[in-house]
Chains A and B, each alone.
Chain A
């Protein structure tokens, strides 16, 4: 079943994906595959998989990157704009509604108790996310070294996260440069 690729149909598809996305960017891939590959046949599952993989190696929000990639492939810049606004729109509306509501009720005692408790749930989620990332990216001595170095720098509190990221980029470039030299010398 093939549907015409227009700004509006792309927006609508990504709007739907935006309402179904729950729990981080990782779930966008199965959603995209079901909507774009299986139902509409606009792209193949392999293409989507590739866009997702590259999106995780680029800065920014993974789901946003993947949406932009896919939209661009479908309909150029217009498609990219349709995809990114579509996937963001539901989140934007829901969050502004919740935020304005929560800001009204924070002075209730019970709400404060709940938030105190939820703070613990949040720290749990955070460490579970760290564990998941760790399993994927700490693969050798080099990545463990980068992790340890960045952790110490971040905990010292003297450098902003952006500066630490820039340092990691520089170390990555130098490391590759040294390896290239070594290969040439052998």
Chain B
């Protein structure tokens, strides 16, 4: 039983070290964990993301707590949250001491310039994978296209998309247009 907490710790520590780009940046790693360890399903992962986007707190922390809880209960939630934060603590403390050198270093700037598009690409890849693995049906695909077009035209609050899609899901499900 101790083993699961140790594995959780290692995986989430890894996310803390390698995730890059803020907000949803931890998602590609959580997706990878779902595929490798089956601690939670991909469907559960999208539920987690939905809840994390509309509850207070940093999205990355919310997701870690949620994933840890789903994997191994309260103690799992604690382990995952602590583990994802620990690298931040170490890295920020180290950088804090050499702040000016860090900022002006050309290699640092170049690495950051590579990491930002890399983080963006990892997230885009998860989005594309989710389209193919979620059972969207034709009606869901149309809904997604509508949402994306409206989002690209004008920025709305996350609750707009999540609330709208929740209501749509409820109606579509009860009309039996989809078999969920």
**A interface residues (Cβ-Cβ under 8 A, vs B):** 18-26, 28, 54-65, 68-69, 72-73, 77, 80, 84, 87-88, 90-92, 94-96, 98-100, 102-103, 109-110, 112-131, 133-134, 136-138, 142-144, 146-151, 154-155, 160-162, 164-166, 168-169, 171-173, 175-176, 179-180
**B interface residues (Cβ-Cβ under 8 A, vs A):** 14, 16-29, 32, 43, 46-47, 49-62, 65-66, 69-70, 74, 77-78, 81, 84-85, 87-89, 91-93, 95-96, 99, 102-103, 106-131, 134-136, 140, 143-144, 147-148, 151-152, 155, 157-158, 161-170, 172-174, 178, 180
Q: Is the Cβ of A161 less than 8 Å from the Cβ of B161?
A: no
Report B73 CB to chain A, min CB distance, Å: 9
Q: Which residue of A lies closest to B128 (CB)?
A: A155
Q: Pick from B57, B62, B161: contact of A121, CB below 8 A.
A: B161
Chain A residues within 8 Å of B47, by CB: 102, 115, 118-119
Q: Is the Cβ of B127 less than 8 Å from the Cβ of A146?
A: no
Report B100 CB to chain A, min CB distance, Å: 10
Q: Is the Cβ of B122 less than 8 Å from the Cβ of A164?
A: yes
Q: Is the Cβ of B84 less than 8 Å from the Cβ of A60?
A: yes
Q: Is the Cβ of A161 less than 8 Å from the Cβ of B92?
A: no
Evaluate whether A122 and B92 lie within 8 angstroms (CB atoms) in the complex, with A116-B178, A133-B123, A146-B114 already known. Answer: no
Chain A residues touching B, majority SS: helix
Q: Is the Cβ of B113 less than 8 Å from the Cβ of A124?
A: no
Report B75 CB to chain A, min CB distance, Å: 11
Report A121 CB to chain B, min CB distance, Å: 3
Q: Is the Cβ of B88 less than 8 Å from the Cβ of A60?
A: yes
Q: Pick from A77, A119, A126: contact of B126, CB below 8 A.
A: A126
Most chain A CB neighbours (cut-off 10 Å) among B46, B59, B60, B69: B59
Q: Pick from A21, A59, A63, A120: contact of B19, CB below 8 A.
A: A59
Q: Is the Cβ of A128 less than 8 Å from the Cβ of B151?
A: yes
